[in-house]
Chains A and B, each alone.
Chain A
Amino acid sequence: MSQIEFTARGDGGPPVRTDLPPRWVEFTACGPTAKISRKAGLDVMLVYAGGIAVRIFVKVWARMQARPDIDPSPGPLLLAGAVVAAGLVALLFRRMSRRGDHWAVFLGGVVAFVSFFRFDSTPLAAGTPLEKPLVLVPLVPAGLAIWSFLRMVRNTDELQRRILYQALSVGFVVTLVATLAYSVLENLGVPRISAAWWWSVLVLSWVAGLAIFSRRYE
């Protein structure tokens, strides 16, 4: 059945084509109003750039601390640069949050977390007094991502909630079986994989579930 319809405009203009079949990606926007707009995309990219800037400022500062042969006078300037960059990132988050764009806040949180945190790497500014506080910094965007994700879930309507529930069930059971099956294979000599990567199984199977179940209601 064709889902394409023509809606007449009151002003007598040409009929506007509306109601193309919804795509499953629309669901990932998780709400009737929130969409991944160009604005949101730009903000998320700026958040990533800001996170990288903070990281670079702190890294250069930490290297200077470790080498006494370098003049340490630009040190405070570098730290101030890091603080300014972090402040700009915070402003970006505020802007996205004021727009009510929880999807953008979520992506921004993930991106800021990733830009600052790396798997299996030595801590940023190791050996300096800032080492331990800096470990806590990525928790802020991570917390923002969790908060905005829960907001998105709360804003979904009944059908979206059903799709989300079905997709999460798929993700849960696939991850459960995959982890158990792989542990059996490990006993048979298959190389061990770090547990830090198992989340990708969960996310991928969840996204696959979203794709499958959203299509069911198209």
Chain B
Amino acid sequence: MKNTLRVLRAERHWSQADLADRLGVSRQTVNAVETGKYDPSLPLAFQIARQFDRLIEEIFDPEEQPVERKRPA
């Protein structure tokens, strides 16, 4: 899932470790969410949104493209 976490984090001059501390998760998890390799659970997504004073939809973009995804590469 696409997200703007990296940008939001940079605006606040937070490192991944800073954000991880605020969320009570590991830096590994923040990194995985940020790079789109792991989709956070709903509670964690809400927590992230609260940290940045945004709505979940403003941070995460599901980029729904089911037709394209099914095409062979």
Q: Spell out A's residues near B (CB within 8 Å).
A: 1, 3, 5, 7-8, 10, 18-19, 21-22, 26-27, 31-32, 156-160, 162, 214, 216-218
Give the size range of B's interface with the partner: 20 to 34
A-B residue pairs, 6 tightest by C-beta = A157-B25, A217-B32, A18-B15, A159-B29, A22-B28, A32-B26
Output the nearest chain B residue to A8 by Cβ-Cβ distance: B13
B38-A217 in contact (CB<8A): yes
A218-B26 in contact (CB<8A): no
How far is the CB of A212 from the nearest CB of chain B, in Å? 14
A218–B38 alpha-carbon span in the complex (Å): 9
Q: Which residues of A contact B31 (CB under 8 A)?
A: 3, 19, 21-22, 217-218
> Interface on chain A toward B: helix, strand, loop, or mixed SS?
loop
The A-contacting residues of B in range 1-46, CB under 8 angstroms, are 10, 13-17, 20-21, 24-29, 31-33, 35, 37-38, 40-41, 44
A199–B32 alpha-carbon span in the complex (Å): 31
Q: List 10 A-B contacts (CB under 8 A).
A: A8-B13, A10-B13, A19-B15, A19-B31, A22-B28, A26-B26, A157-B26, A158-B29, A160-B29, A218-B32
A214–B40 alpha-carbon span in the complex (Å): 16
Output the nearest chain B residue to A16 by Cβ-Cβ distance: B15
A159–B25 alpha-carbon span in the complex (Å): 9
Output the nearest chain B residue to A24 by Cβ-Cβ distance: B28
